[in-house]
Structure 1
Amino acid sequence: MNESHLKNLLNQIKKNTKDALKASQMGLWEEAEQINRMMIQEVECDYKAYGRLADALMKLGKTSEAADYYDIVTDLDKAKKDMTKKSIKLATESNWDAAAAINQEIIKDFPWDLEAYNRLGKAYMEIGDKNKATNAFKCALVVSENSVIAKKNLARLDKTNNDPNKRSTNSNASNKNYIEESAKTAITKLLNVPRQLDTSNLLSGDTVQLVLSSKGIKVMDQNNQILGSLEPKVGSRLRRLIEGGNKYEANITSIAENEVSIIINEVFRSVSQVNTPSFIKKSESISLIPNATIGYTLNDETKFADMKDWTDDDTETGDETIFTADIPSFISVQGEGYSEDDF
């Protein structure tokens, strides 16, 4: 669905919703029934229209039919939550093609779902399809013009398109799952992040360099831009292990203003250090990842295996439920009412 089509669809839903609510508020239950039936024909999974239809049928004394429609509301709620959970699971497994497909299903059934558009955009970014990613994020802005997540990712896509030195995809990132043993993988937040660091060029899963220094380890991106340094105790330990023959890979997991977190994975352990673990959980600065299958995503420094989203942005006001199962509130016309702002 493109942004123009979506805008027209949502505007029509808003108009019909106003008409349905007005009919209900005036006690015109037969008219309300008719409008909501029409809305269901246009958008088959519009659970709020089903809920209003059930309310109208109750007022008209058609209790048995109303009960059936209330059941449909419950079934649609469950189906949406199940699809959302599945899309998140696929993304945590870095199965981006399948994640994109299921988010497309969600959008087809629930075209006002802001979270699904942002998840879809991220999936297409990982696949390397910038045009589809851009369309998804533009659609997110149609649903919520204040979506910080969509705005930031569109800016990133635009900058990537205009920067000849920026790769078109995460081709150098180890965009795969790690199946790790305890103390071989950890996540840590970098220290001494430059205040003027341009994070718009950084993406989830980007490979970073661990550069030995006299005081520990500095972290640099692929363009040799300094991102920060490891916490002294962690850096000093890894420096000794690297000098002893160990090898490590590191990738970005989380990006925010003046904050960068990375995942460090031991990929080779020297025979001379076979009994020496790379990471020891003695500091709050690192989180060990024991026996976990990990996919690259963002915004989860302490519970990386339970990642809730795959953008590098914090959720914004109005987007508090981004990337989580949407549990809609079905409000009777006798209750607090229905808000068109839900779209």
Structure 2
Amino acid sequence: AYNRLGKAYSEMGQYAEARQSYAQTLKFNPNNSIARKNLDRLALLQEETVQMHTGAERIDPALFNEEPGKTTTTQLLNLASPPVLAKVGVGDKVQLQASGRSVIVRNTAGEEIGRIEPRLANRLINFMDGGNRYAAAVRNMEQGQVRLMIREEYQHPNMFGKVSFPAQGGGDTIRAYTKDSMLRYDREDEDELLNEDEYYDGTDEPDEMTEIDFEGNETEE
């Protein structure tokens, strides 16, 4: 319970309270590795001199709603030093910066915290060059790893039909295929209606009718 409280305080930038919470954990369980690790991390922070992630931009929680084709999660490579990572918390917005064929991830202070793995980086660069825009935030930090959630925020008209993050084994044009299929079905329906009209030559004879004279007698034509 104290560890969860410490994590909550840490994410809000209340580091003194976070340290107290983790210290309470160690008071009752001196061998608790999670509390000790977080106290070590907090020890890197000099609140009187370092503007921590209290000033970091918090991401809209909606970013964390997974949407097939529009969101993906990835683990950062080439992580920064612990003092830099200590300034980042879960939910912080980060910047994606293309540099050659690499994508550098920076915190809101402009410090590099890591890089996107090469395959995903190459895809992001191609799509950003095409006009797409992406938002990213820290989704998880534990055991020396940092995971990001990346979301497509805007799809340029030139990229219409191209999926930013296709499912494994899926193609790049799933959206376009779906739309084309719907249009194809519409066209087939229209063709069926036209084919039905081909059987009508405009010379249908009216059905025979029974006439009734004014005296009430039925007469046949």
Could you say whether these structures have the same fold, taking a TM-score greater than 0.5 normalized by the shorter chain as the test? yes
Alpha-carbon contact 2:101-2:125 (below 8 Å) kept? no
Q: 1: distance between equivalents of 2:78 and 2:69?
A: 25
Structure-2 separation of matches of 1:190 and 1:168 = 19
Cα 1:158–1:242 shift into 2, 3 Å: same
Task: Provide the C-alpha distance between the structure 2 equivalents of 1:193 and 1:127, rounded to a whole number of angstroms.
Answer: 23
Could you tell me whether the CA contact under 8 Å between 1:217 and 1:239 is conserved in 2? yes
Q: Map of 1:11-90 to 2, 5 A cutoff?
A: none
Alpha carbons of structure 1 residues 122 and 161: separation in structure 2 relative to 1, 3 Å: same
User: Partners of 1:253 and 1:129 in 2: how far apart?
Assistant: 20
1:163-174, aligned counterparts within 5 Å?
Answer: 164-167=49-52, 169=54, 171-174=56-59
Question: Is the Cα–Cα contact under 8 Å of residues 137 and 150 in structure 2 kept in the other structure?
Answer: yes
Match of 2:47 in 1: 162
CA RMSD for the aligned pairs? 2.7
- Equivalent of 2:10, from 120, 125, 138? 125
1:141 matched to 2:26? The reply is yes
- Contact 2:56–2:93 (CA under 8 A) maintained in structure 1: no
Structure showing greater Rg: 2
Is 2:125 the partner of 1:239?
Answer: yes
TM-score (normalizing by structure 1): 0.43
Contact 1:186–1:279 (Cα < 8 Å) also in 2: yes
Q: TM-score, normalised by structure 2?
A: 0.63
2:75, 2:107 → 1: CA distance?
A: 15
Kindly indicate whether residue 76 of structure 2 is the aligned counterpart of residue 193 of structure 1. Answer: no
Q: Distance in 1 between matches of 2:82 and 2:114?
A: 10
Gapped regions of structure 1 (runs ≥ 5): 1-115, 284-343
Higher RCO (CA < 8 A, seq sep 6+): 1
Residues 1:175 and 1:130: Cα distance change in structure 2 (over 3 Å):
farther
Kept in 2: contact 1:249–1:265 (CA 8 A): yes
Which structure has more strand as a fraction of its residues? Answer: 2
Q: Report if aligned partners of 2:92, 2:138 keep a CA contact under 8 Å in 1.
A: yes
- The residue number in structure 1 matching 2:189 is none
* CA apart distance, 1:180: 4.1
Distance in 2 separating the partners of 1:282 and 1:241: 18
Cα 1:217/1:165, change in 2 over 3 Å? same
Gaps of 5+ in 2: 170-221
The residue identity in structure 2 corresponding to 1:138 is A
What is residue 207 of structure 1 aligned with on the other side? 93
Distance 1:128 1:165, change over 3 A: closer
One-letter code aligned to 2:52: R
Q: Which runs of 4+ in 1 moved over 4 A?
A: none
Change (3 A) 1:193 1:133: closer
What is the CA deviation profile of residues 88-147 of structure 1, one whole-angstrom value per residue up to 9, with x for unaligned ones? xxxxxxxxxxxxxxxxxxxxxxxxxxxx11112212333444343332212111121122
Hey, which of these two has a bigger chunk of helix by percent?
1
What is the CA deviation profile of residues 193-237 of structure 1, one whole-angstrom value per residue up to 9, with x for unaligned ones? 35x554333322222221112113122233433333222221111
The CA distance in 2 between the partners of 1:203 and 1:173, in whole Å, is 9
Residue 154 (structure 1) shift: 2.8
Number of the residue aligned with 1:152: 37
> Is the 1:125–1:133 Cα contact (8 Å) retained in structure 2?
yes
1-structure distance, mates of 2:148, 2:73? 6
1:272 Cα shift? 2.3
Q: Deviations over 1:137-170 (max 9, x none)?
A: 1211112112222223233344434353323526
Secondary structure at 2:30 match in 1: coil
C-alpha distance in structure 2 between counterparts of 1:171 and 1:191, whole Å: 22
